[in-house]
Structure 1
Amino acid sequence: MELGQVAQHADDLDRAAAFYAELLGAPPTGRFDPPGLLFFDLGGTRLLLERGAPSAVLYLRVESVRDQVERLRAAGHPVESEPHVIFSHADDTLGSAGTDEWQAFVRDSEGNLLGLLSQERPD
């Protein structure tokens, strides 16, 4: 079994399309309006943005949480939790051994909480 799709609430599909295209570095893969469905590809899993979907907390893996938060902050998006290390990988069970797991939370264009994750070698 594998994850095929996750849904996220979006009141304004145009605004959400602009936010996620910028964040993900890729345009939407599909839009059907009506009924109000917008899709992005997340490494083979579909991200569905829909007016009728409940808000979910998505955690997106990025190259650098610190860099991504600064880009989002500069664009005016609220940062809810500053970048911080939540644990270090002692082995390869959840990530590459010897890396730190970084995390931060921001708000997307629709007010949804969005987690950002990265694994980085200690400075």
Structure 2
Amino acid sequence: MHIVQVAQHADDLDRAAAFYTQLLDEEPAARFTSPDLLFFNLGATRLLLQPDAPSTVVYLLVDDVAHAVAAARDRGVEIVDDPHVIYTHVDDSLGPVDTDEWQAFIRDSEGNTVGLVSHEPRHDP
């Protein structure tokens, strides 16, 4: 079993399409009217943006959280929480063993919080 789709609130689908196209470096997979629906493919999972969906926190895996946040900041995106290590994986139960999990949070064009996550080689202090 795996997650097929995550829905996220978006008042303005044009604005959301522009935001997520830049963030994901990917064009929308589909867009419908009546009802208003905007889809992006994220691997085997679809991100659905629609006016009637509730706000949720979506966590996106990126190659490098610090780089992704810097690029977002350069585009004027609100940074909710700067990159920081939240966990060191000592086994592979939640992520790759011997990596640090970095997270940061940004605000999307519709006011939703989006988590950015990367796994990086563990850095001993």
Regarding TM over 0.5, the answer is yes
Q: Percent identity at matched positions? A: 58
Q: How many residues align?
A: 123
Which residue of structure 1 lines up, in the alignment, with residue 88 of structure 2? 88
Look up the equivalent residue of 2:116 and give its one-letter code. L
Structure 1: tracts of 5 or more residues without a match:
none
Which residue of structure 2 lines up, in the alignment, with residue 11 of structure 1? 11
1:60 corresponds to 2:60 = yes
Structure 2: tracts of 5 or more residues without a match:
none
User: Where in structure 2 are the equivalents of 1:1-123 lying within 5 Å?
Assistant: 1-123=1-123
Whole-angstrom distance in 1 between the partners of 2:59 and 2:112: 12
SS in structure 2 opposite 1:80? Answer: strand
Shift of 1:100: 0.3
CA displacement, residues 11-59 of structure 1 (integer Å, 9 cap, x when unaligned): 1101100111111111000000122100000111111000111101001
Whole-angstrom distance in 2 between the partners of 1:3 and 1:107: 23
CA displacement, residues 48-94 of structure 1 (integer Å, 9 cap, x when unaligned): 00011110100111001100001111101110111000111111221
Look up the equivalent residue of 2:74 and give its one-letter code. A
Look up the equivalent residue of 1:28 and give its one-letter code. P
RMSD of aligned alpha carbons: 1.0
Runs of 4+ in 1 over 2 A off after TM superposition: none
